[in-house]
Amino acid sequence: MTPAVQVRRAVKSFDGVRVLDEVDLTVHPGQVVALIGPSGSGKSTLLRAINHLERLDTGVVSVHGELIGVRAHGDRLKELGEREILRQRSRIGFVFQGFNLFPHLTVLDNITEAPVVTQRRPKARAREEARELLARVGLADKAAAYPRQLSGGQQQRVAIARALALRPEVVLFDEPTSALDPELVGEVLGVIRDLAAAGTTMVVVTHEIAFAREVADAVVFLDRGRVVEQGPAWQVIDHPEHERTREFLRRVS
């Protein structure tokens, strides 16, 4: 089976410091992978590389078997044009910590913007789908609201609906609940849990270890730019093999 996402030997440095150091990651279709690790370990950089927001120094990223960044040890094997990057990025949904909704657009227009403008889908159909997605995230009554009129949890649920509107093959979440008040975390995790049950392929960066244990098929522990440990969620979280994993889990649990 072709992996939904495959990262091989990803290397990225900032100012001479390796923040991704030969990282491998494989996500199969329908799989939920939780990416955990200390602050600064390279989790966001890895997600951003998958989505072309960050260019690797060397390494390979492919989405559904299609190579998107090939740079083997300095040799420039393939350089993607901006148009190709945009096309491939539209196959990947991205949900940020800070929601990043367009403040001047209604909830419905936030969701239809990319399908209509980038994917050139008919507006009426896009609006119909947006309403279905809003119902799915429990916000059927908020189509006409503006982001500032919503709670953080509601805004993040709109951001998830917006990501899904592109019909992505994989959705990447970068600490989707970290900016939320504690009482709003559950409603967002609940939406992600529903997506997992529906078979959505996802990579979720999270510090919610109990959630990762429950929802993720696989957990990857990243520390200082390296994959220290990975495996089934129960194994990595309940029976970590490495001291660094154990120490991290003690701190966040």
Query: Which residues of this protein are in contact with ligand ADP, per CB under 6 A?
Result: 14, 19, 37, 39-45
Q: Residue 150 corresponds to which amino acid?
A: L
Q: Which is nearer to ligand ADP, 43 or 157 (CB)?
A: 43
- HSE at residue 152, side-chain half, CA atoms within 13 A, is 15
d(CA 101, CA 20): 29
Question: What minimum distance in Å lies between the beta carbon of 38 and ligand ADP?
Answer: 7
Question: What minimum distance in Å lies between the beta carbon of 228 and Mg ion?
Answer: 17
Selection from Mg ion, ligand ADP, none that 58 binds (CB < 5 to 8 A by kind) is none
Q: Which is nearer to ligand ADP, 17 or 86 (CB)?
A: 17
Q: Which is nearer to ligand ADP, 16 or 182 (CB)?
A: 16
Q: Which of residues 42-101 bind Mg ion (CB under 5 A)?
A: 43-44
| Residue least distant from Mg ion (Cβ) | 44
**Residue-by-residue DSSP string for 178-218:** TTS-HHHHHHHHHHHHHHHHTT--EEEE-S-HHHHHHH-SE
| Residue 249 vs residues 11, 35, 224, 234: alpha-carbon distances, Å | 26, 13, 16, 13
Question: What minimum distance in Å lies between the beta carbon of 67 and ligand ADP?
Answer: 23
Stretch that binds Mg ion, among 40-48, 79-87, 152-160, 225-233 (CB under 5 A): 40-48
Stretch that binds Mg ion, among 14-22, 27-35, 39-47, 152-160 (CB under 5 A): 39-47
Question: What minimum distance in Å lies between the beta carbon of 43 and ligand ADP?
Answer: 3
Q: What are the tokens at 141?
A: 């009554």
Q: Which is nearer to ligand ADP, 53 or 197 (CB)?
A: 53
Selection from Mg ion, ligand ADP, none that 93 binds (CB < 5 to 8 A by kind) is none
Q: Which is nearer to ligand ADP, 40 or 122 (CB)?
A: 40
How far from each other are the two terminal CA atoms of the chain, in whole angstroms? 35
Beta strand extents in 2-105 (DSSP E only): 5-14, 17-27, 32-36, 58-63, 66-72, 75-78, 92-95
Question: What minimum distance in Å lies between the beta carbon of 39 and Mg ion?
Answer: 7
Edge to edge, the sheet with strand 58-63 lists 17-27, 5-14, 58-63, 66-72, 75-78
Question: Cβ contacts of residue 99 below 8 Å, gap of 6+?
Answer: 147, 152, 155, 156, 158, 159, 179
Q: Which is nearer to ligand ADP, 129 or 175 (CB)?
A: 175
Q: Which residues bind Mg ion (CB under 5 A)?
A: 43-44
